A = this chain, B = another copy of it.
Amino acid sequence: MNRLFHFALSPFCRKVRLTLAEKRIEVELVEERYWEQNQELLRRNPAGKIPVLKMGDRMFSESQAICEYLDEVFPEPALIPRDALKRYEVRRLCSWFDDKFHREVTCNLLHERLMKKVTKQGYPDGKRIREGAAQIKYHLDYMAWLLEQRRWLAGDQMTLADFAAAAHLSCLDYASDVDWDRQPLVKDWYAKIKSRPSFRSLLADQIPGSPPPLHYADLDF
């Protein structure tokens, strides 16, 4: 049985979970408390990071490398198109969300508000929360600008870029940190992706002591 060592509110794990589910690859989810840096995790991945995917005897790490591999070995449905320019755009946007959005928004909001509580690593830093709350507006506006020109973020097909973005936004939505009224196009896009069967497992996530808001799992939010 394939296993994914993950944490429910890791956007990188969520990107891999969405990819696995779209491709109907069955996987057992194993919670990994990565902040405890135990020896088992380092044995599975010397980088000490999640997600780690165990398929057969092999361990796979680094979410983008995992998703590219899965898309090559299990090509249906394709999450990265064939055309080189379209592939570039998918990868550019994956980096946008996994680097820039993560640093400017996810780290400031989710880490401060929720992960510090879960990992018992101190108290929220108000300055970082305000910074994240300011930055998310620009990112939502940028997404809306893209969606004015395209049906999905990277083009007219749903791709890995949509999963990268939805992985971050769904974690933030768990902490009520997304103002869905700001950009109706982004809300419509999220409603489409949220209603996919591959999203169900994410909507069922529950962090003990920190339940999600009611709208989190509601398809009509």
Kindly state whether residue A123 has any CB partner on chain B within 8 Å. no
Bound form: Cα–Cα A153–B94 in Å: 25
Contact status of A100 and B49, CB under 8 A, knowing A61-B92, A62-B91, A92-B61: yes
Docked complex: A86-100 residues within 8 A CB-CB of B: 87-88, 91-92, 94-96, 99-100
Contact status of A95 and B64, CB under 8 A, knowing A73-B84, A84-B69: yes
- Interface band, chain A: 20 to 34
- Residues of chain B with a CB closer than 8 A to A61's CB: 92
Kindly state whether residue A207 has any CB partner on chain B within 8 Å. no
- Pair A84/B72 contact, Cβ less than 8 Å: yes
Q: List 5 A-B contacts (CB under 8 A).
A: A64-B91, A68-B87, A69-B84, A69-B85, A69-B88
